[in-house]
């Protein structure tokens, strides 16, 4: 697959995010558009392939995106071979219970890393490690890493290289700070 040009990448992401934010669309359509944006972003990264909307064998847990990362030289070399992505296009920040549930999904799949894409961030204070930040810190202590992205992050992306740099930085910040960050 030929990587999209900078203009095409940014335009496509903004188009998906526009549909995801359009309140005249149903909640289902907005959620699907948000997932489409993230599927496009991760598929554009060299060495990454995705699978969408995977249910476990008990039909009790759904994963929005599963990413196979072949750790291409220009790709996500610091991230594991397989990781999960949870997309939350909510009008409010994601709460600690949702972060804890996502951490459980990551562990139940035998993975060590997940990316939580929360349109409006998460609850709590990163410095005090309250609410969702505490949940991420507790997950990290159990060797489950959760990286946090927001819609603002997605709007700032111009190409796949930006995604790689952002995710690598968030991984380093996670380990250094002991919880996820938006730095």
Residue ranges, the chain, pLDDT below 70: 1-6, 55-60, 183
pLDDT for the residue numbered 127: 77
Let me know if residue 124 belongs to a domain: yes
In total, how many domains does the chain have? 1
Let me know if residue 14 belongs to a domain: yes
What does the alpha-carbon distance between residue 112 and residue 63 come to, in Å, rounded to a whole number? 14
Which residues form the domain of 47? 6-177
pLDDT for the residue numbered 118: 96
Let me know if residue 69 belongs to a domain: yes
Let me know if residue 86 belongs to a domain: yes
pTM across the whole model: 0.92
Let me know if residue 112 belongs to a domain: yes
Let me know if residue 163 belongs to a domain: yes
Let me know if residue 183 belongs to a domain: no
pLDDT for the residue numbered 2: 53
Q: What's the CATH code of the domain at 61?
A: 3.40.1350.10
Let me know if residue 23 belongs to a domain: yes
Helix and strand numbers (H, E) in the chain are 6, 5
Tell me the residue ranges of DSSP E strands in the chain.
48-55, 62-69, 82-88, 113-118, 145-149
């Amino acid at each position: 697959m030929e990587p999209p040009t900078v203009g095409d990448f940014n335009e496509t992401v903004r188009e998906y995010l526009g549909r995801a934010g359009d309140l005249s669309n149903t909640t289902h359509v907005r959620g699907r558009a948000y997932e489409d944006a993230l599927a496009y972003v991760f598929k554009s990264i060299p060495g990454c392939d995705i699978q969408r909307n995977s249910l476990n064998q008990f039909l009790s847990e759904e994963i929005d995106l599963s990413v196979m990362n072949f750790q291409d030289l220009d790709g996500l070399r610091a991230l594991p071979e397989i990781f999960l992505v949870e997309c939350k296009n909510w009008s409010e920040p994601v709460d600690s219970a949702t972060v804890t549930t996502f951490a459980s999904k990551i562990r139940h799949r035998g993975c060590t890393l997940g990316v939580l894409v929360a349109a409006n961030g998460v609850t709590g204070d990163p410095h005090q490690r309250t609410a969702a930040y505490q949940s991420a810190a507790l997950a990290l202590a159990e060797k489950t890493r959760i990286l946090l992205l927001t819609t603002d992050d997605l709007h700032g992306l111009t190409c796949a290289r930006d995604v790689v740099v952002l995710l690598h930085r968030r991984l380093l910040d996670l380990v250094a700070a002991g919880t996820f960050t938006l730095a």
